[in-house]
Chains A and B, each alone.
Chain A
Amino acid sequence: MNRPSRLKMAAIHAGLTLLCMATLYPVLWVVKMALSPTDGLALTANPFPETVTLEHFRQVLSGTDAAGRWVFGRQLLASIVVAGATTLVGLTLAVSAAYALSRFRIPGKEGGMQALLVTQMFPATLMMVPIYSILQKLHLLDSLTGLVLVYATTALPFCIWNLKGYFDTLPRELEEAAVMDGASTFQVFVRVVLPLARPALAVTALFSFMTAWNEFILAATLLNDPARFTLPVALQRFVGEHKVEWGKFAAGALIVSAPVMALFFALQKHLVGGLTAGGVKG
């Protein structure tokens, strides 16, 4: 491979730096809002705060409820539990279903895959009323289990599509060799296929996690205990009927986004390549 010229490299760096700045600019505004003591507004393009205070962060982090419980901690815990369980449940269900859809001949397979995709096309806003009734019938209202099940199943169509697409690209020869060596289908699945599919698993897990971590309308509607609200519900409390508490909202937004950014950072190696978005081979 030719070594690109110095000039070209410099141009690429300049271009990328410019685009990164454009990308970061709105984020810096949120940081500025979170750190500024007042939300004093002025027409300025400067995204850096003039005076810095951690007061908004302190207020968001140290909120307590009527009973004096440290609500933020509990809500953080609830968020982690909900998002973690959603990832686990969603991934387990999706992996096994996607593997079967990729490897076995099943009657109605094509139709089923299309039906999954089709559900993504119906706007979610109108599904709330039936979901509420179903959860009540299942005695899963006001429980984190119910919330996790709803999140996991709504994320499933994407997860199954993405994983099936990836499984389709894995050569079957390895599995056949393992069967020759006397491994059962299940052993092949766990020992051979899953390790090979790590990038796709990482991306799918990230997707499930984000679905659960960022959602607030379902969480606020289905749960009745402030200590079990997830963080986005708490964040949404800063948006009132008459006014928005911008400073606290911005601080909360940064706190909510930070773990997802950390996950992106940790998984970025897998992100490229794990995302087949519906399967290269169709």
Chain B
Amino acid sequence: MSRWLGLALLATALSAHAAPATEKPLKLWHAYRGGEEMALIQATELFTSKTGVQVELLALPYDAYAAKLTNAIPHGVGPDVFIFNHERLRNFHAMHLVAPASGLAREDYFPNAVEALEVDGQVYGYPLSLKSLALYVNTKLVPQPPETTDALLAMLPALSDTGAGRFGLAYESGDFYFHAGFLFGFGGELFDANGRASFDTEGMARSLAFVKDLQDRRFIPQEASAALVKSLFNDGRAAMLISGPWFAGEIAPNVDYRVVGLPVVSATGIPIRPFLGVETAYVSARSERAEQAHALARFISLGEASRVRATVGRQIPADVAAYTLPEVREDTLISSFREAARHATPMPNTLEMARVWEPMKLALRAVLQGGSEPQDAGALADRRYRALHRERPPDASPLPWLGLVGAMALGGSVWVLRRPASTLPFKRRYPDVAQAVAYITPAAAGVAVLVFVPFAVGLSLSLFHHEAGEYAFVGLANFVDILASRGYSITEPLSFYFTLAVTLLWAVVNVVLHVSIGLFLALLLKDPLLKLRGVYRVLLIIPWAVPNYITALMWKGMFHRQFGAINGLLVALDLEPVSWFTRFSTAFAANVATNTWLGFPFMMVVALGALQSIPQELYEAAEVDGASKWTQFRHITLPLLRPAMLPAIILGSVWTFNMFNIIYLVSGGEPGGGTDILVSEAYRWAFQRNEQYGFAAAYSVLIFVVLLVWSAFTRRLMRSSSEVMG
């Protein structure tokens, strides 16, 4: 039945060929790169040549892609078709972004791929390709791939040699996506019969113990990142690795390899079953040309397009018929991954699944870094999970609030009107107000529309609970939850007070370092007789000119456990390398080092300007009076620097307080959210914990209140400093 429908759709699309060529192209958004992008371009060209319908592709950065979709589609300016993995389907569905796949015929695709796209019995989107993990084997080092974990364990000692930096196996062990296969292989379940996540299980403990044992015996590298795994395999220093089809393009041409399914866990007889991800072509619920959009999504998921995606894009098609084509069937990589995907567990597209990542990451890292025993980690994850899972607070009536706002407006206007009239008429008090208005209006209009309105909206969001695109008014419930630290004790990383303390420590340490380093350098550089002064100044300003997300990424690399330059320096100095992100103190220090590097030039420049404005005569007079250098610094330099430095310090402290990029990109809150500051915590609630915008906004309002108190305090400081100046 649906096959006929599909054909009918295709026919409609074909007849559109006759339509005038002035029609606007269909919009297709994706985040593919390299070969996958090339394949998609070719597939859409095929579609255009068959149907005459033009397709306009837009490739987006992965980091900005989801936010762009959720903003654009509800406003009716999104794409007709977009490609995304299936994990977020439930989210997209709840926000009414995706249309049911009316042109889909189930039998065209592998059953588990279609199942992954089901919500309440309805299929959304057309499955394009399968993503799951398999075992890459360096055939020179491992002629016979292991079929069971016992066979694997028997091989690993001979293949590993810590001294030479060689490992039998490498994979991103700290990432739950990679660990999930072990969990299922050891008989663990992620969800109980009611669909609630459960972590404190035997399978969890056994799988964690297995992996921890691999790491303790140095069979796998610690803190492995994708880049590390890749270079180990390419250098022949990792005999086997676990990764997905995207890795094939990364392998150096001189490495002989093959891909096989993951081994069977000997203890249970169950294969290691990784997650199955399905790259999907979704039709937007708001597409104005739904028929053509369905035809396009269906077209790129099947037939000729599958062949192109397999051969050019190296994707694993979800299309059953693709495997009858000789060039796909005989492609060992693709057919091996197809085999591996047979055992894979389709990743649930539920909201529950989205809540699992953070607790699992916490547990996994706690075990691998030695902070927790494998059998205790499940309880740890369970606790975090329950803290993150907020029940929807009861709806509150907005009426008292509207009443309050009304009363305040009324009171305000009464106050203004009843204020004792000044003896001077308005015109006399503000003689040039007409002129002033002309000067200010353009800026005021812009700021009002694009700064104050979003600001007010942001503030008021904090009174709402957001779930799947719908806002419910809940009054102060969000604030109550945060301030009462509901679900976790005050001394835990997730609590507002703990995070506030970390944030204050962060701001103070940074500002002190920025100012002292900046001032020190300024004192060195102020001497006009110093040679090469300009050169030094330019070199020292460089950190300020580098965008801070680049700074953050490069420092993150420098703090890497095994390949970071900082540990390189330590080893060169005969010191022990440090595992930076496993302890609060070192992770915090890494963040501070990065932010100090980034922030001292600003303070240096301000201090230089201020130093130059101090009259030289003061020092000469002090010299005559026999004052020492230190006395001069204490009694002339510091007091005279104060008026210029204070505003800079205030501004700097506000910036540091909200320095999201450094925390998020360098430590990422490791270990276990300990180094998160308030603003990164707000971001997590907004974007990583099921879009709880209201809760995140409440966090932001609290940040705002803290800063208001701080600025009131500093204003007093400034006032007293200007009194000192007379």
Contact = CB atoms under 8 A, between A and B. Distances in A.
A98 B291 CA distance: 55
Closest 3 pairs (CB-CB, A-B): A278-B647, A100-B439, A236-B61
A272 B660 contact: no
A190 interface: no
A280 B643 contact: yes
Q: Is the interface of B mostly helix, strand, loop or mixed?
A: helix
Interface in B529-568: 529-532, 534, 536-551, 553-555, 557-558, 562-565, 567-568
B192 interface: no
Contacts of B501: none
Interface in A101-151: 101, 104-107, 115-123, 125-134, 136, 138, 141-142, 149-150
A42 B563 contact: yes
B439 A99 contact: yes
A246 interface: yes
A224 interface: yes
Interface stretch (B138-146, B148-156, B224-232, B407-415): B224-232
Contacts of A123: 658, 660, 679, 682-683, 700, 703
A171 interface: no
Interface stretch (B333-341, B427-435, B484-492): B427-435
Given A29-B558, A265-B538, A221 B609 contact: no
Given A41-B227, A45-B565, A125 B644 contact: no
Contacts of A25: 565
> Which bracket fits the contact residues of B?
35 or more
Contacts of A183: none
A105 B568 CA distance: 60
B458 interface: yes
B226, B442, B563, B609: which has the most chain A beta carbons within 10 Å? Answer: B609
Interface residues of A, number: 119
Contact of B647 (A142, A242, A279): A279
A126 B524 contact: no
Interface in B19-67: 27, 31, 33, 41, 57-64, 67
Contact of A156 (B446, B529, B711): B446
B463 to A, nearest CB: 13
A44 B565 contact: yes
B59 A26 contact: no
Given A141-B77, A271-B605, A47 B565 contact: yes
Contacts of A27: 542, 546
Nearest to A116: B447
Interface of B: 27, 31, 33, 41, 57-64, 67-68, 71-72, 75, 77, 85, 226-228, 230-231, 234-235, 244, 246, 250, 252, 429-433, 435-436, 439-440, 442-444, 446-447, 449-455, 457-459, 461, 521, 524-525, 527, 529-532, 534, 536-551, 553-555, 557-558, 562-565, 567-569, 571-572, 577, 597, 602, 605-606, 608-609, 612-613, 616, 620, 643-644, 647-648, 650-651, 654, 657-658, 660, 679, 682-683, 686-687, 693, 696-697, 700, 703-704, 707-708, 711, 718-719, 722
Interface string A12-26: 110110011001111
B430 A121 contact: no
A66 B644 contact: no
A268 interface: yes
A12 B292 CA distance: 71
Contact of A242 (B59, B226, B446, B457): B226
B75, B557, B567, B682: which has the most chain A beta carbons within 10 Å? Answer: B557
B700 A39 contact: no
A21 B530 CA distance: 18
Contacts of B433: 104-107
Given A106-B430, A221-B64, A280 B644 contact: yes
